[in-house]
Amino acid sequence: MRKKRILVTGGAGFLGSHICEKLVNEGHYVYCLDNFFTGKKENIAHLLSNDCFSLLDRDICLPIDLEVQEIYNLACPASPYHYQLDPIQTLKTSVWGAMHMLELAKKNNAKVLQASTSEVYGDPQVHPQEESYWGNVNPIGRRSCYDEGKRCAETLFFDFRRAYRIPIKVVRIFNTFGPRMQPNDGRVVSNFIVQALKNQPLTIYGDGKQTRSFCYVDDLIEGIFKMMDTDSSITGPINLGNPLEYRIIDLAEIILKLTGSKSPIISLPLPSDDPKKRKPNIELAKKNLKWQPTKKLEEGLKETIEYFAQILEEDASLSSGT
């Protein structure tokens, strides 16, 4: 296998750190670019001393010049709580970040993969969502900085492809969970597990009848690598996610059962524009990538619960000084 120089933006985040780790293990030279807005040094601590790993502590909103053969563009907060804290920065990160990565790909004739999202379908009126659906997105709401930022990034990817023949790969990622999510991330799986482990109330937004489809991180990362390995005729967009659909209230019950927690479930207001249902059609991924997820929700949750139990224990012993 040829050793490549590869840039992973958002490389200290949940998904990015798994990508960095796999690439280093495969023998590549990895640049991990991150501004640590939601990413954590702990996620990449085990890679820092590796000669084939280099951390670039910087913002993707700044242009960058490097010699690379591949780029995985993941820099962008993914949790609604975090991406709405500074919506203008979120939009810049998606759009300027995509522009800078495409310019870099153009200069190097590098393959560039964009981590797009199921949010490009907004609050979908087609179910399950297939790639040909153009979506139902509010352009001026609280989620728009993320949804429209990611949609604009997709536009840039395809315009660069048409103008300069850049080898692009666009994957639309559906809700993914697993180890290396942060306890304060704010997404539903991490919130419910942390609340259950701390015997705090599980916070359901709205009536909990809205649905999502949850993919375990190892499955998702495998799909991303398979996409990067395709020939240049395959650009995407291609959905990556688990097509099994759950109501949020049912997810809460499963997590209570798996943790053995006695936490009550409470209802909080539903945030505006929260999609009512979401489930990927993954026929394209099955056909073009020979990929589909294999990890059962409960199995993935058990591993994620173990991970959070361990970091909560470490945090507790740090704060008690033991």
Catalytic machinery residues: 146
Q: Per CB under 6 A, which of residues 200..239 are in contact with ligand NAD?
A: none
129 sits near ligand NAD (criterion: CB under 6 A): no
C-alpha torsion 240→114→120→269, nearest 10: 80
Give the N- to C-terminal CA distance of the chain in Å, as an integer.
47
**Helical residues (DSSP H) of the chain, grouped into ranges:** 14-25, 41-44, 80-83, 87-108, 144-164, 188-197, 217-228, 248-259, 283-289, 297-320
* Nearest-approach distance from CB 289 to ligand UDP, in angstroms: 23
Q: Which stretch binds ligand NAD (CB under 6 A): 75-83, 223-231, 246-254, 270-278?
A: 75-83
| Cα–Cα distance for residue pair 92/80, rounded to 1 Å | 16
* Nearest-approach distance from CB 320 to ligand NAD, in angstroms: 28
Calculate ∠ Cα 166-74-151, nearest 5°.
70
187 sits near ligand UDP (criterion: CB under 6 A): yes
224 sits near ligand UDP (criterion: CB under 6 A): no
203 sits near ligand UDP (criterion: CB under 6 A): yes
75 sits near ligand NAD (criterion: CB under 6 A): yes
* Nearest-approach distance from CB 82 to ligand UDP, in angstroms: 10
Question: Of ligand NAD, ligand UDP, none, which one sits near residue 205, judging by CB under 5 to 8 A according to partner kind?
Answer: ligand UDP
Give how many residues touch ligand NAD by CB under 6 A: 27
**Which DSSP symbol is given to 4?**
-
Q: Per CB under 6 A, which of residues 139..198 are in contact with ligand NAD?
A: 173, 175-176
User: Contacting ligand NAD (CB under 6 A), which of 19, 74, 91, 202?
Assistant: 74
For the chain, helix (H) and strand (E) counts, in that order, are 10, 13
* Nearest-approach distance from CB 101 to ligand UDP, in angstroms: 23
3-state SS, 17-36, equals HHHHHHHHHCCCEEEEEECC
Q: Per CB under 6 A, which of residues 98..127 are in contact with ligand NAD?
A: 115, 117
Q: Write the single-letter amino acid at 319.
A: S
Question: Of ligand UDP, ligand NAD, none, which one sits near residue 129, judging by CB under 5 to 8 A according to partner kind?
Answer: none
Query: Which pair of structure tokens corresponds to residue 239?
Result: 């959905």
* Nearest-approach distance from CB 37 to ligand NAD, in angstroms: 4
Q: Are 170 and 9 in contact (CB under 8 A)?
A: no
Q: Per CB under 6 A, which of residues 78..137 are in contact with ligand UDP?
A: 79-80
* Nearest-approach distance from CB 36 to ligand NAD, in angstroms: 5
32 sits near ligand NAD (criterion: CB under 6 A): no
| Cα–Cα distance for residue pair 252/187, rounded to 1 Å | 13
Beta carbons within 10 angstroms of residue 72's beta carbon: 29
| Cα–Cα distance for residue pair 97/104, rounded to 1 Å | 11
| Phi, psi (degrees; rounded to nearest 5) at 83 | -75, -15
Question: Of ligand UDP, ligand NAD, none, which one sits near residue 134, judging by CB under 5 to 8 A according to partner kind?
Answer: none
CB nearer ligand UDP, residue 26 or residue 130: 130
CB nearer ligand UDP, residue 167 or residue 208: 208
Beta carbons within 10 angstroms of residue 266's beta carbon: 11
Residues that bind ligand NAD (CB under 6 A): 10, 12-16, 33-39, 59-61, 74-78, 93, 115, 117, 173, 175-176
State the residues that interact with ligand UDP by CB under 6 A: 79-80, 175, 187-188, 191, 203-205, 210, 212, 248, 271, 274
